[in-house]
Each structure stands twice: as structure tokens, then as C-alpha cells.
Chains A and B, each alone.
Chain A
Amino acid sequence: MSPLQSARVALRALRVNLLRSMLTMLGIIIGVGAVIAMVGVGAGAQARVAEQIQSLGSNLIIVLSGSTTAGGVRMGQGSRLTITEEDSNAIAREVAAVQAAAPSMRGSAQIVYGNLNWSTGVQGVTPDYFEVREWNIAAGRAFGPEDLAGATKVALLGLTTAQNLFGDSDPLGQIVRIKKVPFTVIGVLDRKGQNSWGQDQDDVVVIPLSTAKKRVLGVSQANARSVGAISIKIRPGEDMAEAEMQIRELLRQRHRLQPYQDDDFTVRNLSEILQTQEESSKVMTYLLAAIASVSLLVGGIGIMNIMLVSVTERTREIGLRLAVGARGRDILLQFLVEAVTLSLIGGVIGIALGLASSQAISQFAEWRTQVPAQAVAIAFGFAAAVGVFFGFYPARKAARLDPIEALRYE
């Protein structure tokens, strides 16, 4: 008998006991539905974490100036400005994986507007900085290369700084004083929120690097070109670890460090922390799916139970089929197809139910959910596997019946 015929015979047998078939399917429907919905919730949470990571800059590498050691006392990061604007240019030029590199200096200063003042961080940066940090301008404009070249006195305010100095009024075009130097506010930066260690990234004022060196933060005596940090954006899809290694190599070369010498700079990479977060939410997804698949297992046991009942009920039919020439494998196939049909129809309905409830969860609980197509395919395959696995024993039992005994069965 061909599989198609087996399927037809199976469908007919299932129709005969319609209510029973539906109830049996219900186990699979709930199981598959639960798996889909739980994966939806888990994957949604995962996607949200991934998005947060993106906003922090998962493809960001930061190189910090190194530490000095004076008489065995190490002074900590940035105590000596070992990296320069030329290092930054070299990184952008020579490391293929780098999309952009932006040198920066930071310090803190008192900002005064009218009779209000606010103490905040001052960042001296190049125009590339905004691209590297994926930091948009909420109002006004960013400064350009001409501001850098001319060391113009223009400033962009972080949202927190803007609110503290200006409240609700428009800061654009106003003059603020940073360390008594007047600056024109040309823009306000978009909200960046807290970084992964809880610091308010919006509590800042950003000015051109050249202006910062000349007017606000001062210049290192040793090297006028030195900077505190270089922010580096890696091209999407590039290997972060590989890029980090190349940057390190390049800087060691440029700084003429001998193999026995320590780095005179520090390379930081956010992706590691964030990977951990992503990993933990992935584990959560697996956990939810594992709990849900228990109900799929229970559904499978339901199928096995009903198939065993069905084989017993239809013993005479099996005997007759054997007598008129059915081989063991014809009978096996017939009952296996019946079990798989039950689980597949249940699987399809379960997928629909799972997608619907995942939708409902995101609607009513306002949780983000997202069901990957892969999960749907896996759930469907799993349902089929449950049908085969739990249908096999009853089907084999049917196939091994003795035709004489089966025909005589009352």
C-alpha cells in the first residue's frame, strides 16, 4: 500500500472517532502552542537585550591612555596620555575592520548660563565621534571639520546638562561659559541613557577636541597631540576579538614597545559584558521551551494511549487485512500514519494557537514577543517526531498480531 493510500485510510479511521481524535490532538495542540508562545516570549526578551546592546555600542572598542608607574606606584588609567590623534588616524587607516576612529579627551568643568551653573563632564571630540558612538543630534547641528580646524567655541549639550541649565527654554544659540570661556550652544544631543555601569551618559557637554585642548582642558606638556581615549567603531560582521588584537598590535608597534614591556594603553570592549547578558536571556528561552515541551511529551503519551485502544478495538479488522494479503509493514504504516496525522494536525493547530497567544501576550502584557520561523519549523518537526515515537509501539503491536487470533478476537 502506498503512503498516500495509508494516509487516506488513516484519515478515515480518525474521522470515525472524531471527538476522540480531537481530544487526543488537544494534547499536542497545547504542547506545541506552549512551546511556540514561550519561545516567542524568550526570543522577544533576547531581541530587546540585543537592541540595548546595540545602543550601547556592541561594535565599539575603546582605547584608553595607559598608566604611569612612579617608584613602583602605578597611577591608574589615563594618568599619562600615551595615545595620540595620530594613533587614532593610524587605526582608522590601517586596521581593515575599523569603520571609524575618534580621539577624545575628557575632563570636568563648571558650566555657567546666566545665574545658573552645573558641574559636568567635558568631552573634547572630533566630528567622527558622533558616528562612532551612534549618538544622534536631537536639535541643532553637530560641529564639522572646520570647527575642529578653527578651534571654534561651539558646544553640544547632553540632555541632562541642557535641562539643568535651560529647563524648558531653547538652549540653541545661547552663550554658556565653560571655565569662563564663552561657548555658543549649537545643538542638543539625543538621549543616550545610562551606560552598562549606571552612569548618566547625558550629563555631558561636547566641544571640538582642538578647542578643548586650547581653552578648557589644557595640553599635555610632553605631547600636544596626545588624547585620553580613542573610540573605535568596528564594521558590522567583523570579528571583535580579531580587530581588538590588530589594534593592540598596531599600537604596540607605534609606541615601540618591546615584547617584555606591558601595554601602555588599555583596550576595552563592551561586547563581553553584553554577551553575558544575551547568554543569560538565551538560557531563559531554553528553560521556558523545555518546560513547555514537557506538555508536548504528555500529548505524545496521550497519542500512544489512544492508539493502543484503537489497535485493540480494531483487532478483527487487522486480522482481516492480514488475511487478505496485508503484510506486517502495511499494518505498521497504517497505524503509524494515523498517529503522525494526529500529531501533525495537532502541530499545525498548535502553531496557530502559539502564534496567536504570543500576539496576545505582546498586546495585553505589553511584552515584546517574537517567534522565529526556525522555532515554528522545529516545533512542527518535533510534533511529527512525537507522533512517530509514540505511534511506533502501538503500530508494531498491530503489525505483529497473529492473523488467526486476530480474526477470532471478540
Chain B
Amino acid sequence: MVILTEGLTKDYRLGRHVVHALRDVSVAVERGEFLAVMGPSGSGKSTFMNLLGCLDTPTEGRYLIDGEDVAGLGRDALAGIRSRKIGFVFQTFNLLARTTALENVELPLLYSNVSARARRARAHKSLAEVGLADREDHHPSQLSGGQQQRVAIARALVNDPTVILADEPTGALDTRTSLEIMALMQRLNRAGMTIVVVTHEPDVAAHAGRVLTFRDGRVIRDARVTTPRDASAALAELPDVSATEEDAVA
């Protein structure tokens, strides 16, 4: 069991009102699952994501990541868990400008006592895994959106995390590039990586093996997808554009 939540509840206090962002959510995610978290804005999916990512602590309930109980941990201990167990992918990539792709990927290792030589080697390997070995010295401004998101995925992979949490990873990308990113995620998932994707697009969720739907802070649906859509197959069916975005940039 990679993720186990029991009665997870999060209340926010806004002045005199209490907002129940998340109410009594109990979910278990096995190793190697590809989970999509869906729901309209305000449904609690972002709150759920922040709790899974150890960026926030629940008001009530328990959360075990990789068997480790997060309840009652301080800021630094949470940072330690993020560093060891979680890889983040964001909608807007969040790469550091004026910093090469390789250095961007190295960033998480700066905070986990890895020697400079090992950092370089691991970042190198991670970039190769997302197919950007030849873009190591490029700055984000020299890369296309899809390439930037792949650098961000490489950064999420570099710490060898237990789970990758992706928050609207295709939200800023066009259809083809979105498919490329989803294909990459599916490939990583098939290789054994546990992935949780938050999205409001059913098209994106259709690539996952399990879809969790939130409404008003509760899970209203938890469905297994028997045959998830294959992104690389869909990519092959797209009309072949000779000059893809990536070639144009390269």
C-alpha cells in the first residue's frame, strides 16, 4: 500500500466561517496504480492533492505514505518526506529560469545530501529517461512546453520517489503534446511507478487505471477502468504533421 488515508478531513477557517474542504476521505492506492483525481473546482481535489503531497496536514484523519504516518509531523519532517517519497509535476512546469535543464533536474538532490558527482549522474539518467539527453544544457526558455514538462517529470523522477503527483500536467499544453506527456506517464507507470494525476478533463483521466471523482469534499465515485486509453496509440493515429512543435523549436 503506497497511499492509505482514513477519514481524511480538512477544514479551513475563513473569518467566522469554517469551510469543509475535505470530509472523511478514505482511499487506498496500491503500488503501481495510475490514479486520476477528477472533480469540478472547489470539489476538494486540490486539497486532497496537497495532503497527499505532504504540503499540508489534515485537520482530522490519518494519512500513511509508504507505511509512514504523516500525522503530527513538523514542517521540516514533512519536507524530508517530500524529498524522499514524492515527485511533483505542476501545470506551469515551475522550472527555474536561467538554469539549465540538467540543473533543474538536480534541484531536489540539493536537499538530500547527494554528492555533486552523483547528482549529475542521476539527473543525467533521469533526463535520458524522458528522452531529453540532448537538451541538458538548454535553458527552459529554449525548450517547448512539452519539453519543459518532460524536464519537470525528469525532476520528479530524480529522487526515485514512491509516487508521482501531477497537478493538471497537461493543462498548459496542446492536444498532441498532452498525449505525448500522457504516453510518457503511462510508460513510467508500466515500469512500476505509482502515479496520481489531478485533472478536470475526462480525456486525460481516461488514460488512468482508476478514477476518483470528488464533489463537495467527498469522494462520490471510485471506478476502475478496465481498458485505459493508450496514449501512444492515440498519438500514432493523429494526422502526421511533418513539422511538429518540437522539431520547430529544435
Contacts and interface: CB of A to CB of B under 8 A. Distances in A.
A323 B111 CA distance: 11
Contacts of B190: none
Interface string A1-35: 10001000000100010000000000000000000
B53 A328 contact: no
B214 interface: no
Given A324-B88, A326-B111, A16 B83 contact: no
Contacts of B96: 317, 320
Contacts of A330: 111
Given A321-B107, A325-B159, A328-B75, A403 B55 contact: yes
A322 B79 contact: yes
Interface string B106-140: 01101110000000000000000000000000000
A404 B110 contact: no
Interface string B142-177: 000000000000010001000000000000000000
Interface in A342-370: none
Given A317-B96, A407-B90, A327 B111 contact: yes
B218 interface: no
A324 B82 contact: yes
B55 A324 contact: no
A325 B90 contact: no
Contacts of B83: 324-325
B22 to A, nearest CB: 14
B98 A16 contact: yes
Interface residues of B, number: 24
A320 B112 CA distance: 15
A324 B56 contact: no
B108 A325 contact: yes
B79 A404 contact: no
A194 B37 CA distance: 97
A326 B99 CA distance: 18
B80 interface: yes
A329 B76 CA distance: 9
B232 interface: no
A404 B50 contact: yes
B94 interface: yes
A316 interface: yes
A323 B53 contact: yes
Nearest to B103: A12
B233 to A, nearest CB: 33
A402 to B, nearest CB: 8
Interface in B150-208: 155, 159
Contacts of B159: 324-325
Contacts of B98: 12, 16
A403 B94 CA distance: 13
Q: Which 5 A-B pairs have the closest CB atoms?
A: A325-B83, A324-B108, A325-B111, A327-B76, A327-B79
Interface of A: 1, 5, 12, 16, 316-317, 319-330, 403-404, 407
Given A324-B88, A404-B55, 13 more contacts: A320-B107, A324-B83, A324-B107, A324-B155, A324-B159, A325-B112, A326-B110, A326-B111, A327-B111, A328-B79, A330-B111, A407-B55, A407-B94
25 contacts: A1-B110, A12-B98, A16-B98, A317-B96, A320-B107, A321-B107, A322-B79, A323-B53, A323-B55, A323-B82, A323-B88, A325-B80, A325-B84, A325-B111, A325-B159, A326-B110, A327-B75, A327-B76, A327-B80, A327-B111, A328-B75, A330-B111, A404-B55, A407-B55, A407-B90
